[in-house]
């Protein structure tokens, strides 16, 4: 009888873990991320990406103190960078974020298509977006750092903006 109780308990535990998913952990606000997401944890932040994405530290090649690129096999990517060192980045879109406690929210989105802005790169075979702080007077430090984000698709000229907005808004600063 004792073995049967242990086996049933183990089965219930396994079903419960499978239903929750191994990547599903509560965020600082107490809510649980979508079960289809994958949570990555850095010293300074946590982030939820779509399932199947991987991470790569690109700090050595970035214009930032630290930069991590999250990406999938289809060319989609999202870069979290802290403490910029200066950059000459061109993009297909410039978004701005606003700070809400230890997280970020999209404040506005500006597409380059049809403009003469020299910082636009809408004539190549990929899509790149840059997400900067909202305030023109300078960035608000969050967790002691200045944050910026780059997103896009290295294989396509279009993206699903909702995916990247959800990724940005999933970030929780932990530093």
Domains in the chain: ranges and CATH: 27-173 (3.40.1000)
- Which stretch of 26-35, 40-49, 130-139 has the lowest confidence by average pLDDT? 26-35
Distance of CA 87 to the CA centre of its chain: 20
Residue 131 has pLDDT above 60, yes or no: yes
Give the three-class secondary structure for 20. Answer: helix
pLDDT at position 124 is: 66
pLDDT at position 119 is: 55
Mean pLDDT of 158-172: 93
Mean pLDDT of 115-130: 66
Residue 35 has pLDDT above 80, yes or no: no
Compute the mean pLDDT over every residue in the chain, rounded to the nearest whole number.
76
pLDDT at position 30 is: 40
Residue 21 has pLDDT above 50, yes or no: no
Q: Alpha carbon of 78 to those of 37, 58, 105, 127, 159: distances in Å?
A: 14, 12, 15, 12, 12
Confidence of residue 6 (pLDDT cuts 50, 70, 90): very low
């Amino acid at each position: 009888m004792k073995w049967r109780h242990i086996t049933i308990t183990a089965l219930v535990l396994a079903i419960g873990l499978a239903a929750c998913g191994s990547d599903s952990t509560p965020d600082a606000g107490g809510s649980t991320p979508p079960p289809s997401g994958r949570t990555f944890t850095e010293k300074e932040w946590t982030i939820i990406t779509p399932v199947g994405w991987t991470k790569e530290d690109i700090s050595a090649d970035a214009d930032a103190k630290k930069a991590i690129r999250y990406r999938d096999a289809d060319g989609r990517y999202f870069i979290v960078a802290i403490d910029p060192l200066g950059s000459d980045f061109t993009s297909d879109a410039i978004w701005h974020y606003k700070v809400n406690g230890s997280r970020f929210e999209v404040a506005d989105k500006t597409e380059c298509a049809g403009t003469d802005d020299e910082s636009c790169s809408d004539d190549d075979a990929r899509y790149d977006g840059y997400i900067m702080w909202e305030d023109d007077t300078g960035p608000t430090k969050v967790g002691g750092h200045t944050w910026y984000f780059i997103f896009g698709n290295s294989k396509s000229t279009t993206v699903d903006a909702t995916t990247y907005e959800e990724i940005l808004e999933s970030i929780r600063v932990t530093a």
